[in-house]
Structure 1
Amino acid sequence: MALAAATLLPGRAMASPFREITWEDLIPKGVPYGEIIGPGQIDAVNDTWVPQFDENASKVNTGLDGKPVKLPGYIIPFDVTSDGVTSFMLVPYVGACIHTPPPPPNQLVFVTTEKPWPSESMWDPVWVFGRLSAKAMTTQIAEVGYQIAAEKIEVYEWQ
């Protein structure tokens, strides 16, 4: 019996400290998805569309604040060096914020990374691992509900 328990320990020790979450987890329980209301407006300075959202759009899941998470998504680059992307918006679907109005703030995560993500892999879906901060910020393309300082980024493998 003790031998069986001992053989389980290494597996537990190797378990990921990051909790896998989905985009739905970023919306507090019982809060409907933030809907775009009204026509919005054009930001002529940044040449972007600024949608108007209802009050649910900025409600964040504070239960995830400070938690180590693993979240899949797509990269909208902000800071790009010769080594790759060092800050980006993580979005739930391809083209968000570029070809369509941005999702609600509670569906956007601003990511910074010390290890640049290679530019040639920028359009691949990724997993971002890091401590989630339920801290709003404003970027040049959208209001953002969350931030992560990435500890690891890897290509998302379809299963």
Structure 2
Amino acid sequence: MKATFWMLGMIAAIASQTPAQAADYKVGERIGEAKAVSKANPAYKTLDWDDMMPGDWDPMKSLKGLDLDKLDDADPRAIEALEQMRSAWNDAPIVQKLDKQRVQIPGFVVPLDMNGTQVREFLLVPYFGACIHVPPPPSNQVIHIVLPKSLPKDQQKTLNQAAQQYGPVSVSGLMETIASNTAMGFAGYRIKAERLMPYKLKTN
């Protein structure tokens, strides 16, 4: 399944022909392994993006039987299939057992609400450029992050820096299976953030 979403991101990146804005990531590049996040907090369950999709769900079901390489973008069959896929993705099934779990997960920031230069609300997504340079992922691959009224200065600085380039952060908090329809896409989950950290891979 991981390869599936990496491929989806790359397909979208190629289709968009939009350059990346963050030097360390290419459009469509997926976040690294969640389990590789440094300084994992034992108070939170380390969550991978694949954990948020039911095992029997096929995100590409509406495209089966179509050879997209042979279809022009304006082909009615391609347009209809993509519309069906988008509709299915907006209402993608969630994993209900994740409700009320305290989790930690890394992802890319897509700002929703800013007060000056400070981010107050954002979406967390699994690959760079989602919702900005390329179409949103399925809703079960989008998390609506709600921040507390105030963040420690170091955490606010980390978030602001990530938001400027839609870069990565690690979010810890209470996950809820509550859907949101935002200006940047549908989210199948919500996290009430308690802690934000820069996202870094272990080097040893």
Q: Do both proteins adopt the same fold according to a TM-score greater than 0.5, normalized to the shorter chain?
A: yes
SS of 2:136's equivalent in the other structure is coil
Superposed displacement of residue 40, structure 1:
3.1
Pairs within 5 Å for 1:108-127:
108-114=142-148, 115=151, 117-118=156-157, 119-122=160-163, 123=165, 124-127=167-170
SS of 1:58's equivalent in the other structure is coil
TM-score by length of 2: 0.60
TM-score by length of 1: 0.75
Pairs within 5 Å for 1:85-124:
85-114=119-148, 115=151, 117-118=156-157, 119-122=160-163, 123=165, 124=167
Number of the residue aligned with 2:57: 31
User: Which of 110, 113, 134 is matched with 1:76 structurally?
Assistant: 110
Tell me the number of residue pairs that the alignment of Structure 1 and Structure 2 aligns: 136
Alpha-carbon distance change, 111 to 155 in structure 1, aligned in 2, over 3 angstroms:
same
Superposed displacement of residue 140, structure 1:
1.2
Number of the residue aligned with 2:101: 67
Greater share of helix:
2
Number of the residue aligned with 1:140: 183
Pairs within 5 Å for 1:8-27:
16-27=42-53
Contact 2:109 2:162 in 1 (8 A): no
Alpha-carbon distance change, 39 to 70 in structure 1, aligned in 2, over 3 angstroms:
same
SS of 2:111's equivalent in the other structure is strand
Provide structure 1 residue ranges, at least 5 long, that are not aligned to the other structure: 1-14, 42-50
Provide structure 2 residue ranges, at least 5 long, that are not aligned to the other structure: 1-40, 64-80
Contact 1:129 1:151 in 2 (8 A): yes
Q: Distance in 2 between matches of 1:22 and 1:36?
A: 25
Bigger relative contact order, structure 1 or 2 (CA pairs below 8 A, ≥6 apart): 2
SS of 1:129's equivalent in the other structure is strand
Residue by residue over 1:100-142, the C-alpha shift from the partner in whole angstroms, topping out at 9 and shown as x without a partner, is 1100000000001122733233233111001111111111121
Q: What percent of counterpart residues are identical?
A: 30
Larger Rg: 1
SS of 2:82's equivalent in the other structure is coil
Superposed displacement of residue 145, structure 1:
0.2
What RMSD in Å do the two structures reach over aligned CA positions? 2.4
Q: Distance in 1 between matches of 2:123 and 2:117?
A: 18
Greater share of strand:
1
